[in-house]
A and B are shown apart, each in its own frame.
Chain A
Amino acid sequence: MLEKIKSFASEFFVTGDPLILGAQVSIGLTMVALVITLTYFKKWGWLWREWLTTVDHKRIGIMYVIAALLMLFRGGVDALLMRTQLAMPNMQFLTPEHYNQIFTTHGVIMILFMAMPLMFGLFNIVVPLQIGARDVAFPFLNSLSFWLFFWGAMLFNVSFVIGGSPDAGWLAYPPLSGKMFSPGVGQDFYNWGIQISGIGSLMTGINFIVTILKMRAPGMKLMKMPMFSWSVLASSATIIFAFPILTVTLALLMLDRTFGTHFFTLDGGGNPMMYINLIWMWGHPEVYIVILPAFGIFSEIVATFSKKKLFGYKSMVFALMSISVASFFTWVHHFFTMGSGANVNAFFAVTTMVIAIPTGVKVFNWLFTMFRGRISFETPMLWTIGFIVTFVAGGLTGVMLSVAPADFQLHNSYFLIAHFHQVLIGGVAFGYFAGLYYWWPKVFGFKLNEKIGKWAFWTWNIGFYLTFMPQYLVGLDGMTRRVSTYGWDTGWFGLNLTSTIGAFIMGLGFLFQVWQIAHSVKFMQRDTTGDPWNGRTLEWSIPSPAPLYNFAVVPRADEQDPWWEEKKRREQGLPPAPAQPYEPIHMPKNSPIAFIKSFCWFVAGFGFVWGWYWMAIPGLIGVGVCMLVHSFTYDNEYYIPVDEIKRTEAALRGTV
């Protein structure tokens, strides 16, 4: 019996690696500490009532951001481990197997479990406030999206200590990711983890399209809508067309692995290249899904910190929407080397280059917005300027890669690695940092410390250039991606060492940000205005943090920058519009079903990963029961009475 348990445990848990053992111990200790803290301070009820069951978009947004920052930490540690291994030739720090796992999880986590939730966090925090709505269109679905993401991410991350991480690359190309070459459970964790969180992403896309199209404040025509909301609309539209392809692709790979089908196998008539086409039909739009909202963030920040109306509003909208459409017609540029022929490659090379046009339009719009503006350089603006420089250069190397003949040389070299990190860090990460700094006071009611923020900005930027500029060169020198080591004779040592030093400087930048948050919480200076940046859009017209119902009275928005115009009118001494009487506010009730249902998905996924149908089937039944219970629940709304609104508003506006 004991022997049986021992042999099961040795297969179930990842054993024999001191790094992972250390992680297992620290995960165990953290969990124990968490349980003890919550019990000691009697916070379980609070956690359940205020967070786990909440349908409030602001709280869901905060949970997304916290989860994303934790994932940023894990993905960042993965990156530093890889850079340590590559610092010198013939390093023995990581075994090749371990290295494969780390580059796989680094990619998946950074795109799907860091960038996506950070983006959804900002959607949730900002969009309803910006368009003058009291919540998203489907608050319950919103919490379901979050918890599906959360439990999907848990399922993916648990593979690190239980069963072993996936190691077939972040997009898991077959036949390597098939059962024949990846017999372990790691790849199954990948399939189910991403599948479950992907369903959540799809539903968020639907939710925000409906929210933006149907719930804008009276008077806010589409062409008067703030640019961030436009970018969310563009991104969500891309989500609803791209994510179903991911769902199908992962499902087919799962069927191949679990039920012996022949979609992507080498035998039985399967076609591995079809997987690569399908995954990039999702994968390419996916990178635009994450970059478009960053463009929106920059547009808000540039206008606010230049104290000017955004230049070229209409062309900005046109650029966003055309990028979102064009993103579906470029996927083959990820594998020009497939051999699809000169005409096909030429088509996709041209479509790829075409994307540079609307992107260029946006860059010039931002520059012209700054032109003759009264610019102030607070942290959100610094990140924006850092972005423009970095992203333009990264975009240019992208155009170089889009030249199909050149790509035959550059394909899968470090040149490519440098390119996509430059647009993803310089574009997406910088963008979301800028957004976090910008909207932080709206969410929490205080600004982050500017001085430490500037240290973080400069360490991140210097670290970034030090890491990735050498990678372009080492790529041109012939170093390919995903090699776990190299010899002295290659001549790659100096560039790799520089790159590693840069990566640690970026890590230092992250530590500065953690310190910045801790410092700003400790020496908190409450913002009582609700409008610390002299903002332009509706979210700055209400107190920070916003009350549960956001707007006591639904605002009107007849201009492009309604709050800015309102402030101008007040300065001119024009009488404010007569105050509207409060009315009872209709709100959705909290619901535990989203949390429980997503947990059931986790159980089902875990069961499928191990082939334990005694676990998977009850999990799926649990999902079905949750759906039915939700369908039969009619009592899911309530009204906030006028008295309570009056009390809350008086307290928030300091007139008690």
Chain B
Amino acid sequence: MMAQANGHAQTQGHEHGHDGHHDQEELRQFGFWIFLITDVILFGTLFATFIVLRGNTAGGPGPELFELGGIIASTFILLTSSFTSGLAVLAMNRGNKQGLIGWLIVTALLGLSFIYLEVTEFTKLVHEGANMGTSAFWSAFYTLVGTHGLHVSVGLVWMTALIIQLARRGITPVTKRKVNIVSLYWHFLDVVWIFVFTIVYLMGVM
């Protein structure tokens, strides 16, 4: 058999977990970072598409339909939810299960109101005669902003599932990893939104 150095299971603590096995939770968190890279590319492609097509309104309505008031409100809601998800992680690191669940609920509620505002905005735009098929500009708009909204919605379902798991099992290495990952995801969506806000809305109305 191979050269097996004496007691490497004990000496390789940084590479291997307690019993010579890899630390699964650490691996999963690392894997999620790589998934986020792929999501960056995904949004990057959508942003590129939007930028290429942003002038192509084909004689129809354009960004003048945007109403910045609601957008600024939803921006602050999403930024706040990123902050509260951070508070949830802090509570978790202190071992405070109630605080963790509480802050996650606040985060999810803020996310829900963000989605509500987005759906309202979309409905209003459609009533004003700008739907996905109106022109390339609106196709790119709905796809980019909608993909972000879809991500947030998936995050909401995920967070709800996690809250139930936390209530049942408490803070364990597994649930801890899950909270860390979901909060990473949430911050990531926040960063993407900053770009949506700047490139789609601010540059649209400027």
Question: Which residues of chain B are within 8 angstroms of A586 by Cβ–Cβ distance?
Answer: 19, 21
Contact of A554 with B132 in the complex, beta carbons under 8 Å? no
Question: Which residues of chain A are within 8 angstroms of B2 by Cβ–Cβ distance?
Answer: 538, 541, 553, 555-557, 562-563, 566, 577
* CB-CB nearest in chain B for A624: B157
B197: min CB distance to chain A, Å: 21
Encoded as 1 (CB less than 8 Å from any B CB) or 0, chain A from 178 to 220 comes to 0000000000000000000000001001110110011100110
A655: min CB distance to chain B, Å: 12
Question: Which residues of chain B are within 8 angstroms of A241 by Cβ–Cβ distance?
Answer: 37-38, 41
Question: Which residues of chain B are within 8 angstroms of A268 by Cβ–Cβ distance?
Answer: 56, 58, 133-136, 139
Q: How many A-B residue pairs have CB under 8 A?
A: 168
Contact of B1 with A553 in the complex, beta carbons under 8 Å? yes
Question: Which residues of chain B are within 8 angstroms of A274 by Cβ–Cβ distance?
Answer: 49, 52-53
Given A271-B56, A628-B161, are A579 and B38 neighbors across the interface (CB < 8 Å)?
A: no
Q: List which B52-73 residues lie within 8 A (CB) of chain A.
A: 52-53, 56-58
Question: Which residues of chain B are within 8 angstroms of A218 by Cβ–Cβ distance?
Answer: 5, 8, 12, 15-16
Contact of B35 with A206 in the complex, beta carbons under 8 Å? yes
Q: How far is the CA of A580 from the CA of B45 in the complex (A)?
A: 51
Q: List which A213-235 residues lie within 8 A (CB) of chain B.
A: 213-215, 218-219
Q: How far is the CA of A248 from the CA of B38 in the complex (A)?
A: 11
Q: How far is the CA of A577 from the CA of B140 in the complex (A)?
A: 63
Q: How far is the CA of A215 from the CA of B132 in the complex (A)?
A: 46
* CB-CB nearest in chain B for A245: B45
Question: Which residues of chain B are within 8 angstroms of A252 by Cβ–Cβ distance?
Answer: 49, 143
Contact of B132 with A261 in the complex, beta carbons under 8 Å? yes
A153: min CB distance to chain B, Å: 22
A267 on the interface (CB 8 Å rule)? Answer: yes
Stretch among B25-33, B81-89, B95-103, B119-127 lining the A interface: B25-33
Q: How far is the CA of A538 from the CA of B3 in the complex (A)?
A: 11
Encoded as 1 (CB less than 8 Å from any B CB) or 0, chain A from 460 to 490 comes to 0000000000000000000000000000000
Contact of B52 with A271 in the complex, beta carbons under 8 Å? yes
Given A215-B22, A260-B132, are A554 and B9 neighbors across the interface (CB < 8 Å)?
A: yes
Question: Which residues of chain B are within 8 angstroms of A450 by Cβ–Cβ distance?
Answer: none
Q: How far is the CA of A205 from the CA of B45 in the complex (A)?
A: 19
A46 on the interface (CB 8 Å rule)? Answer: no
Given A247-B42, A634-B169, are A262 and B139 neighbors across the interface (CB < 8 Å)?
A: yes
Point out which of B2, B22, B132, B161 has the most chain A C-beta atoms below 10 A from its C-beta.
B2
A41 on the interface (CB 8 Å rule)? Answer: no
Contact of B3 with A576 in the complex, beta carbons under 8 Å? yes
Contact of A583 with B133 in the complex, beta carbons under 8 Å? no
A400 on the interface (CB 8 Å rule)? Answer: no
Question: Which residues of chain A are within 8 angstroms of B41 by Cβ–Cβ distance?
Answer: 240-241, 244-245
Question: Which residues of chain A are within 8 angstroms of B46 by Cβ–Cβ distance?
Answer: 248
Q: How far is the CA of A552 from the CA of B135 in the complex (A)?
A: 62
A474: min CB distance to chain B, Å: 38
* CB-CB nearest in chain A for B178: A631
Q: How far is the CA of A268 from the CA of B60 in the complex (A)?
A: 9
- Which of A245, A541, A583 is in CB contact (< 8 Å) with B1? A541
B77: min CB distance to chain A, Å: 25
Question: Which residues of chain B are within 8 angstroms of A552 by Cβ–Cβ distance?
Answer: 1
B159: min CB distance to chain A, Å: 11
Q: List which B169-192 residues lie within 8 A (CB) of chain A.
A: 169, 174
| Pairs A–B under 8 Å by Cβ, sample size 17 | A138-B27, A206-B35, A209-B34, A214-B27, A218-B5, A241-B41, A244-B39, A261-B139, A261-B143, A263-B143, A269-B53, A278-B45, A553-B4, A554-B20, A556-B5, A578-B4, A632-B165
6 residue pairs, one from A and one from B, having the closest CB atoms: A269-B56, A269-B136, A261-B139, A555-B2, A244-B41, A260-B133
Beyond the given A240-B37, A260-B132, please list 14 additional residue pairs across the A-B interface where CB-CB is below 8 A. Answer: A205-B38, A248-B42, A249-B45, A261-B139, A263-B140, A265-B136, A270-B139, A271-B53, A554-B9, A562-B3, A576-B3, A577-B2, A580-B4, A631-B165
